Amino acid sequence: MNSAATPAPAAVMDRAQSDLVLIVDDVPDNLAMLHDALDESGYTVLVATSGETALARAAQAVPDVVLLDAMMPGMDGFEVARRLKSLPATAHIPIIFMTGLTETEHLEAALAAGGVDYVTKPIKPREVLARMNVHLQGARRARQEVRQAGQARNALDAFGYASLTVRAADGRLMWQTALARTLLRDYFGAADAHHAPAPVIDWLQAQLPQVPALAAQQIEPPRLVIERGARRLSFSLHQQTGDSEGGGDWLIVMREVSDAAVIEALALGFKLTAREAEVLYWLLKGKTNRDIGDILGSSPATVKKHLERVYVKLGVETRTAAAGIAMARIRQTHPQFEG
């Protein structure tokens, strides 16, 4: 069982092939018996002989189930369970206690600490396998839901739509995409990582009384726009995602608009050079060739040459046509852009 003594990083463990089990027991004979039985049944097995090691293993590998000895020297199993349940990354893991204590108060303590089940010592591997299978079915469903949610959030970020869910009652952040976390920090600082910024909470709570009437008329609630110099961050209220008690949880989608972001979108969308994209951007802003030259430090003749290449790439012949096509594209990626 030495191959399981040092866990591989979670990123390289193939969860599609087998479930990952963490066994925590300070008695080597118990570890060996369970390890062999689980290994023969097709599980990937990690072991820990102390509470501290168990917490480190769980944080690194995020097992699908934990078999946890209740009574260990130092940190006992009850404390290990409480700590696992207090951390967002491991709170979902089902914990099955292994205990020689059968008094009601000890079993209640195991459940109160976060255990979903228990088996009594001496351990019977077949009983452990049967109990594990029941709880692993729920863990697999939960893991699939988390994976799908993560894929959806990553997709939103890829299209520039930063998303978060906020609990209306107190403004607590229930989840957020990586891009949302970055934008909130950029615009509001890192004062409170667990709650939405005060302006967002105030805006959300102000919109809730109007939502039913606006929805009936198919009207989008007013957006919140936060400006930071040339950058603007807009917040749009989408559907309710949680229980309606206290206002429920609400999906909010953020979108940043900035000169640089729009210019980059033009360059990518039409395969323009950086300078061609800048020229087209200022054309959208209604600037003349002379104005654009002054802004970019070029002559009007140079601007004209850039525009001629832009027309070819857009398949148009006039400023008006170029502006129309470019504006239509920008409205798709930056709805708040004002030409």
Strands, sheet with 173-176, edge to edge from the N-terminal-most edge strand: 173-176, 162-167, 249-258, 231-240, 224-228
Q: Terminal CA-to-CA distance of the chain, rounded, Å?
A: 66
Alpha-carbon span 319 to 310, nearest angstrom: 10
The answer, as to whether pTM is greater than 0.85, is no
DSSP one-letter code for 257: E
Angstrom distances, CA of residue 220 to CA of 210, 213, 240: 10, 10, 14
Residue 163 pairs in a beta bridge with 253
Task: Report the alpha-carbon distance of residue 119 to residue 95 in Å, rounded.
Answer: 11
**pLDDT tens digits for the chain (339 residues)?**
443 443 333 433 444 457 889 999 988 888 888 999 998 988 889 999 999 999 999 988 889 899 999 889 989 999 999 999 888 788 888 999 988 776 666 677 788 888 888 888 888 888 899 888 888 876 666 566 555 555 555 545 544 568 888 988 889 888 888 788 888 998 998 767 789 999 999 999 999 888 888 878 878 789 898 888 667 888 988 777 655 555 688 888 888 777 787 888 889 889 999 999 999 999 998 999 999 999 999 999 999 999 999 999 999 999 999 999 998 888 776 665 666
Query: In terms of DSSP bridges, do strands 20-24 and 44-48 run parallel, antiparallel, or are they unpaired?
Result: parallel
* Separation CA 166–CA 196 (nearest Å): 7
